A and B are shown apart, each in its own frame.
Chain A
């Protein structure tokens, strides 16, 4: 370990993810941050490495019935079902909004069929965005989404398909609801993925014992938050050992310590999700906290820390 080497306390927080340089390794987990418009009152988007937007499809989606949200101990469940305005309004409104800020734009893409995904990716090839994240891991929609994310062949296939239309680097977002993360990571890498991100939420269920019914209208929902962090760290570690492409780690990161842990496990960058609901300024605080950690232990750059616990 290089501890002690960086004596002048100058740290370089930049990371290079599939050819795109972020000013620091912190982005937002899709679906927890909208397109930044609501959070910009609480967090300075200029301070983030990238903003990852809420998933967008080819047409507007109304999402699932309510209740869509439930709290669980040390986390929460959601079954929003990818409500989104569709790619037209998104391009018109959200991209120009985010471009006001000095941060990279990662657009999360969702779809019900290969054609849906490709339509959005093709449309985005004309737009001023930096990276695409393909959501093949949402547990809350019946068609598409997870259907591509639980079978290695299907995951490789959808990756190949979107790569034919993509002008920006493609991040494939993986589901933890699989038997083997390394197998899924390798499959999308074989399909041409420029990076992988993980983990999406774990499928869960909550029952209201007084009403004797499911809390969520969708019955099941995706569990997120600190409760799932150790699972995410393990899976990021496994994925980082399975593929050569960059790994964006997420899952229950609530503070800088959690983010550093994810980087030490093998993540080149991190996404912060549910913690935004607990503290809308948390992303900025995590950037500062990682910097302090680097100064404390003498790391000059982020890549010196990635995957060093092996």
Chain B
């Protein structure tokens, strides 16, 4: 187990270095990155001066190590549009993004589980067919489009739900204001509901299909046949023998899904004007605020990598066969 954890941690370090290197190199892709930091009207001297000030005249490897050290100190330069450290701007928005990601993750797990198990136990019936057709459709629609449709139907036509807006829950919680967080909770959930559905529709669909095949796979095993032959009730066979063993592959997939959800969050935040990092990236991209895009990408990648690491460690913990490999 220890070697597994150590190997996995080492890989994470390599990955983090790789991610920062890729991000760092990408701003040099288009040639001189000074271009992003000075106005288009700047003279050649002004540009050269900015180049020196920003350190882009030094060798690439020196710049990269500098970038790494500054990153470790939380210094990634000032945002060009906000005129304050980009790191702070991103961290300010992080709780809202986490709310949406965690909400979407919980929803996709809670909904996908009964769907998958139901479809597997009723294999070949009308219920199975309908659920799996729904899952197929859910996997084929862009989450942000579902978001637009939800706004149109529940927000504009029926006027049941707010079309945009946000009540902070995690931010006061992180800052130790627990009372405020709790008072905010009902409002937070109300605003969270539609974006959460839009973010998780793909995961719900994918997870229910995976859970269905995992349960079906287990139902084929000899020990299930034995359990049935012993005369156990179908309920006991399912609960004690089938679902328990099907859990191992499912839990891994669910944990990996957390990281995957981040992809959708960025776009869905834009649809609902959600004040998170995704919306921030969208604005930063349209204003060509490169330091801000860079910081947001690196910080979100760290979140993604950590979620993957936790998923892998959990996998090793749950399934002893993985550790021995």
**A is bound by B:** no
- The interface of chain B, by Cβ under 8 A from chain A, is none
- The interface of chain A, by Cβ under 8 A from chain B, is none
